[in-house]
Chain A
Amino acid sequence: MIHLSRIATRFTQLQQAQRKALIPYLVAGDPRQEVTVPAMHAMVAAGADIIELGVPFSDPMAEGPVIQLAHERALEHGVSLRDVIAMVAQFRQRDSDTPVVLMGYANPVEVMGPGVFAELASDAGVDALLTVDLPPEEGCEARQILASHGIDTILLLAPTTTEARVEYLCKHASGYLYYVSLKGVTGASHLDVNSVRDKLALIRQYTDLPVTVGFGIRDADSARAIAPLCDGVVVGSALVDSVSRQASAGVTEIQAMLDPMTGLLSAIRSAIDTV
């Protein structure tokens, strides 16, 4: 019997329905620990197909100011990789279908040890790991350990990635590919649709895996522009910003804190469903 992963199942379903994946991102433990699991469920209710859960790190080098501050807030509450894994386990009590991808930096997993991580994460129902600062050249061993526990390794491709390297990365990726739409940090605003189109065409020559696009997608318009070119869009900073604005405005009730964020996510869902 072939066992399909949650991610593969999800993309197969989307393809059959001719829909694009909507992939929201949030930082685990931001603005408070108890917000994260309700936020994940709310995201699913608002149309999320896959959730990328950011693992807080003290030095998030690829992030713009919005997500940097989210990492700092989460760390103020002492949120660790173990806590993040526990949040996924809690999420799984009510949702056994929505894939969850942990996104973060190499060091927390390095310190825990890839073997320990893979076992805990797999037990909790984590589907994939995306490590911003771990190119496949350095992550070979970790990738094999994760694969043996059924955890995919999501790799990034960038505007600067050469064709030879696109081929190399496609060979080592699993789950789906994540194309970083622009040269810059998360939340930047200089998205160039034409350059994304050209690069995705190139990437498609080397892989049958779904290709998603992130960085710089902030609202319904930008999502509508990008969605026809790819299999899914990742939205991060705009959502993180929405929740943090509510929190800093003094809203403490979780539902009310999340409402504007889920509203934005629903609007993006509608936008990409009409393309």
Chain B
Amino acid sequence: MTQQCYTNQPDAGGHYGPYGGRFVSETLIAALDELERSYAELKASASFLRELDHDLAHYVGRPSPLYFAERWSQRAGGARIFLKREDLNHTGAHKVNNTVGQGLLAKYSGKTRVIAETGAGQHGVATATIAARLGLSCQVYMGEEDIRRQSLNVYRMKLLGAEVIPVTSGSKTLKDAMNEAMRDWVTNVDDTFYIIGTVAGPHPYPMLVRDFQSVIGRETKLQCLEQTGGLPDALVACVGGGSNAIGLFYPFLDDASVAMYGVEAAGDGLETGRHAAPLCAGRPGILHGNRTYLMEDDNGQIIHTHSVSAGLDYPGVGPEHAWLKDVGRVEYVSITDDEALNAFRELTLVEGIIPALESSHALAYADKLARRMTSNEVIVVNLSGRGDKDIHTVADIDGIEF
């Protein structure tokens, strides 16, 4: 049997098969070229890599633990489920792995200002955090609807010295925040570094965000070998834009024995149309600088998405996921709001870990998957973030007011 290689993407133009690329206005081409050049240089620079490793260890708190969720596994009664504890990172999610990296890129490129888009607010907080530490001015674009849902993170960003700019156009969520950040970047391209929070956007962003997040999978591989004596049988991660998923998957892509599941948000159910699952129920198109699977109508207009978790409420997905779906390396599935909320409550009760609603989608699918597997088998779930930020959302659902 010939072993196919899945880690040789993208091509020189930033394409993952037919996906990815660079679909932006002419004004941004030079900035993307410059970013690509400086990233290629810094990736080979010992001092940059030393500083990155240092910050990941001493500022973020890496490596994050790989934790055997024994009681939760027993309750499911199948495979042994391990949790990669990205929720224990500084700022409470995997997002900071990327902002530490891009923040250093900004610093080395001499930019004095960073901007970001945010949905759940985790990427905004992680960007504001790194901007505070590096002494960069920081503005974060956030949809009005998300500002309402995630007031805690909005205040955190303000405390960190960032300005949160409400976005009132379109659906007032993550996609519109990204449009607005692009508009800012095109206007202030000389002094501004745009820290994109997921593996989407124009080349080289999907590649460099993947590279920065791949620390998750590299650590997992070592930890899994150490704790279980082998590679995991399955990996499970939630997919909005898909950065935590690609971070976990990428170092395992060429390990044929490892099955991988990307979990999209089915919202009220795929059949209702109220969801955020472009890989499961969308089709290819072009948005935010790349070709990928999108939620769109017959006329090519992007349609509104729905998920209980703001971080998954995005109509597109990273182009590498689109390619991994087409070539069949990763299976993409979906979990409804209700299923995710159940997993949220159960993990909290059984393991004393409050997961983010985003990560709860991965947990809910792992629970289903584990039941079809045996206790000799191992599943690793990326617990991409902690759930403190979602307390208001869950309390709302429970009819509780603070």
Q: Which residues of A contact B (CB under 8 A)?
A: 56-65, 68, 72, 75, 80-82, 105-112, 132-135, 137-138, 155-162, 165, 169, 180, 183-185, 188
Contact B300 A109, beta carbon cutoff 8 Å:
yes
A159 to B26, CA, bound (A): 9
Taking CB atoms, residues of chain A closer than 8 Å to B211 are none
Interface presence of B226 (CB below 8 A): no
Taking CB atoms, residues of chain A closer than 8 Å to B176 are 59
Partner-binding segment picked from B16-24, B44-52, B334-342: B16-24
Contact B22 A112, beta carbon cutoff 8 Å:
no
Contact A185 B23, beta carbon cutoff 8 Å:
no
B292 to chain A, nearest CB (A): 11
Compute the total of residue contacts between A and B using a CB distance below 8 Å: 118
Most chain A CB neighbours (cut-off 10 Å) among B23, B179, B287 = B23
Contact A156 B170, beta carbon cutoff 8 Å:
no
Contact B29 A185, beta carbon cutoff 8 Å:
no
A56 to B30, CA, bound (A): 27
A102 to B27, CA, bound (A): 20
- A-contacting residues, B272-321, CB 8 Å: 284-289, 291, 294, 296, 298-303
Cβ-neighbour of A61 out of B26, B31, B183 (below 8 A)? B183
CB nearest to B304 among chain A residues: A58
A215 to chain B, nearest CB (A): 9
Partner-binding segment picked from B91-99, B131-139, B186-194: B186-194
Q: Which residues of B contact A (CB under 8 A)?
A: 13, 21-31, 169-170, 175-176, 179, 182-183, 186-190, 284-289, 291, 294, 296, 298-303
Contact B21 A138, beta carbon cutoff 8 Å:
yes
Taking CB atoms, residues of chain A closer than 8 Å to B29 are 135, 158, 160-161, 165
Taking CB atoms, residues of chain A closer than 8 Å to B170 are 58-59, 72
A232 to B289, CA, bound (A): 29
Taking CB atoms, residues of chain A closer than 8 Å to B30 are 158, 160-162, 165
Q: Given A82-B299, A111-B296, A134-B23, 4 other A-B contacts at CB below 8 A?
A: A62-B186, A63-B183, A108-B301, A161-B26
Taking CB atoms, residues of chain B closer than 8 Å to A134 are 23, 286
Taking CB atoms, residues of chain B closer than 8 Å to A56 are 301
A143 to B273, CA, bound (A): 34
Contact A185 B286, beta carbon cutoff 8 Å:
no
Taking CB atoms, residues of chain B closer than 8 Å to A106 are 23, 286
Taking CB atoms, residues of chain B closer than 8 Å to A162 are 30
Contact A160 B301, beta carbon cutoff 8 Å:
no
Cβ-neighbour of B189 out of A160, A165, A188 (below 8 A)? A160
A248 to B31, CA, bound (A): 39
A95 to B393, CA, bound (A): 57
Q: Which 9 A-B residue pairings sit nearest by Cβ, starting from the closest?
A: A111-B300, A108-B300, A158-B27, A80-B299, A160-B30, A184-B187, A106-B286, A107-B300, A156-B26
> Can you list 12 contacts pairing A with B, beta carbon distance less than 8 Å?
A61-B182, A72-B170, A106-B23, A107-B302, A158-B29, A160-B27, A161-B29, A162-B30, A165-B29, A183-B187, A184-B187, A188-B187
Cβ-neighbour of B183 out of A112, A156, A157, A185 (below 8 A)? A185
A161 to B169, CA, bound (A): 29
A58 to B288, CA, bound (A): 12
Contact B186 A107, beta carbon cutoff 8 Å:
no
A85 to chain B, nearest CB (A): 12
CB nearest to A56 among chain B residues: B301
CB nearest to B284 among chain A residues: A110
Cβ-neighbour of A111 out of B21, B23, B288, B299 (below 8 A)? B299
B82 to chain A, nearest CB (A): 39
Q: Given the interface contacts A72-B170, A137-B13, A162-B30, does A81 sit within 8 Å of B299 by beta carbon?
A: yes
A35 to B311, CA, bound (A): 40
